[in-house]
């Protein structure tokens, strides 16, 4: 008796039902289904399905289980994904070769910066001394190992921010050249081009330091004048491309660094002092300077925490100058040692962390025809 082959596409399932089923699966599993038939391949590579998967995939919607990408250098590029089911030691003990096999191939000489948006990371390659004003920037989907290179900018070491316009289903990169002659440039993925904008206050924007964090459709930076009254948080609305400026609260302690963070459903500010951290929340975004200090957690006198990643539930991971990495719940004041005295998190290394969502945004990059 001869066996009859069943064509994979002879399945009496409406395509919208197939989409709903596939959208609940991990990215790597979904990609395997592209081989089933042409109609499934077309579905999976469509912009509509990319958005559906981002909304439906369960692991992307639970803040408690959201994985954190952590990264260290120099001397190599080490990238780990930390999930709630892992211990930190288990993750850091994996060697780079094994992670490379998982698709986490960090493009050479590029560094991640700012917050991840819909599974995309912003990478920057800082200028070479031979050409100090040439900055190369890249969008990267680490779960797919695919990247999209932006046209080079002729400004040295800009402060960057990545945002997403929901109304246009489009990504934007903001580059701020600070210093005595500030300038602002916006890259839109749909047009694959940079353009300059001038609707900003040069007296404030020139003092922006570090890279931006996206909170509820708005990119936030802080100025570097921590020790002066009137230090500012600079915001950029990704939809209407408007800047705004918010006076930061005064702190009686010596502030080492200030970080814009998302806390619950509010815009927050994490003040890193010595030896403590304070969380402020903006009561009303429409009322400038309406800040309330919610929590302060004290550390050992020798500890100056370096923030790696802050979660909306009030937990944050930080490195210490004496080496090691810890998890702090700012609401309960509980501090847990994840790794003691680990050289990966000493002062000789740069480290980075971001909340991460798996996505199929590779498809959107291809369809834009920019590569």
Residues of the chain with CATH 2.120.10.30: 62-367
CATH class of segment(s) 62-367 = mainly beta
Residues 198 and 201: their CA atoms lie apart, in Å, by 8
- The mean of the pLDDT values for the chain is 78
Tell the burial category of 285 from Cβ atoms under 10 Å away from its Cβ (0-12, 13-18, 19+). Answer: middle
* 188-223 pLDDT tens trace: 998 999 999 998 888 788 788 778 999 989 999 998
Please, which pLDDT band fits residue 256 given cuts at 50, 70 and 90?
Answer: confident
Give the DSSP per-residue string, 169-237. Answer: TEEEEEEEE-SSS-EEEEEETTTTEEEEE--S-HHHHTTEEEEEEEETTEEEEEES-TTSTT-EEEEEE
Which segment of 230-239, 251-260, 300-309, 331-340 scores lowest on mean pLDDT? Answer: 300-309
Q: What is the pTM of this model?
A: 0.85
β 159-165/170-177 pair status: antiparallel
Sheet holding 324-329, edge to edge: 305-310, 315-320, 324-329, 334-340
Using pLDDT thresholds of 50, 70 and 90, give the confidence band for residue 95: very low
- The residue-averaged pLDDT of 20-49 equals 89
Could you give the angle at the alpha carbon of 261 between the alpha carbons of 337 and 275, nearest 5°?
A: 45
Give the range with max mean pLDDT: 132-146, 152-166, 310-324. Answer: 152-166
The pLDDT of residue 260 is 93
């Amino acid at each position: 008796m001869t066996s009859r082959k069943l064509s994979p596409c002879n399945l009496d399932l409406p395509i919208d039902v197939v989409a709903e089923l596939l959208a609940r699966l991990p990215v790597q599993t979904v990609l395997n289904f592209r081989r089933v038939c042409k109609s499934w391949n077309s579905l999976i590579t469509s912009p509509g399905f990319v958005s559906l998967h981002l909304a439906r995939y369960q692991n992307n919607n639970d803040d408690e289980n959201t994985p954190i990408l952590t990264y260290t250098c120099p001397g190599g590029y080490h990238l780990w994904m930390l999930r709630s089911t892992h211990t930190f030691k288990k993750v850091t003990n994996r060697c780079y070769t094994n992670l490379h096999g998982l698709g986490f191939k960090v493009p050479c000489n590029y560094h991640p910066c700012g917050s991840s948006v819909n599974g995309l990371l912003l990478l920057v390659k800082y200028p070479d001394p031979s050409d100090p004003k040439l900055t190369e920037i890249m969008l990267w989907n680490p779960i797919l190992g695919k990247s999209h290179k932006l046209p080079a900018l002729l400004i040295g070491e800009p402060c960057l921010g990545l945002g997403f316009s929901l109304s246009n289903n489009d990504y934007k990169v903001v580059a701020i050249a600070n210093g005595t002659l500030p300038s602002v440039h916006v890259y839109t993925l749909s047009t694959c081009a940079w353009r300059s904008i001038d609707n900003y206050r040069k007296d404030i924007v020139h003092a922006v330091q570090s890279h931006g964090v996206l909170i509820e459709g708005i990119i936030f930076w802080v100025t570097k004048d921590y020790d002066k009254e009137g230090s500012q948080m600079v915001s950029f609305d990704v939809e209407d491309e408007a800047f705004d400026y918010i006076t930061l609260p005064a702190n009686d302690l010596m502030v080492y660094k200030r970080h814009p963070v998302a806390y619950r459903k509010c815009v927050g500010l994490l003040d890193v002092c010595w030896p403590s951290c304070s969380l402020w929340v903006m009561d009303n975004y429409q009322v400038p300077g309406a800040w309330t200090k919610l929590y302060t957690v004290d550390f050992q006198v020798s500890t100056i925490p370096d923030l790696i990643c802050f979660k909306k539930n009030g937990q944050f991971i930080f490195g210490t100058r004496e080496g090691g990495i810890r998890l702090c719940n700012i609401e309960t004041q509980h501090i847990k040692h994840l790794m003691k005295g680990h050289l990966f998190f000493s002062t000789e290394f740069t480290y980075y962390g971001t909340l991460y969502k798996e996505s199929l945004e590779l498809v959107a990059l291809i369809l834009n025809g920019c590569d």
